[in-house]
Amino acid sequence: MFTGFGGTDRPENSIDDSRRPFQIYLLGTREEIQTTINQLQVVRFCERIRWSPPIPVLGSDWKYISMMERDQSR
């Protein structure tokens, strides 16, 4: 169970680790992110629709980030 930091007691609303989604982030140019998302779909890792649209990273004129969540049970 994930209980957070700062205590040994489990809160009533703790989440079972196996139920928390697994998150993956891609960081790169818009083209690199799209190419990687396409490759991950080809190898059946996840569908393209599961990824967030690439958004610009603040303070950079070329970096973008995209995020995907999926169940850990896969």
What mean pLDDT do residues 9-36 have?
81
Tokens matching residue 12 = 């009533």
pLDDT > 70? residue 40: yes
pLDDT > 50? residue 28: yes
What mean pLDDT do residues 28-50 have?
96
Question: Higher-confidence residue: 6 or 1?
Answer: 6
Query: pTM for this one?
Result: 0.69
Q: How far from the centroid of its chain's Cα atoms is residue 23's Cα?
A: 3
pLDDT > 90? residue 44: yes
CB 26 within 8 A of CB 69: no
Confidence at 21, pLDDT banded by 50, 70, 90: confident
